[in-house]
Amino acid sequence: MIAHRPGIAHERLYASTTDTFDGDLDFIAVEYALNGEEVTLTVAEKICAARILTELGFTSREVASRVGAARETVAGWKTNGWQQKSRTPERSAA
C-alpha cells in the first residue's frame, strides 16, 4: 500500500488522455497501477506502467511495488527495450 501524508496533494497520473484500451492494454488498469491503487495487471500492462513510471523518474523500488513485479524483472524489461523477454531459446546456426 502506498501511504500519503494528510494535507499533501498528489497529482493523479494518467496512462492515456483519451483511450481506455489499446489491443491488450487496459489503460484504466494501468492508471490504477500508476497511482499505487490495487489492481490485477497483465504482463503487457505491467510493462506499460513500469515504462511510464520510470520515464517519470520513479525509483526502481517504487516502480516494482506499483506494478507488482520484482525490481530485477523491471530492470530486465528496461534492458530488453520494454519488451517481455522471449521464452524461446535462441538456436545457433549450425
List of domains in the chain? 21-79 (1.10.10)
Q: What is the mean pLDDT of residues 58-73?
A: 96
pLDDT the model gives residue 80: 94
The pTM is what?
A: 0.77
Euclidean distance between CA atoms 64 and 11, whole angstroms: 20
Residue 1, pLDDT score: 47
Tell which wins on pLDDT, 24 or 52.
52
Q: Would you report the helix, strand and coil content of the chain in percent, each value rounded to 5?
A: 40, 5, 55
What pLDDT, in 10s, does the model give residues 25-38?
Answer: 999 999 999 999 99
Share of the chain above pLDDT 70, in %: 79
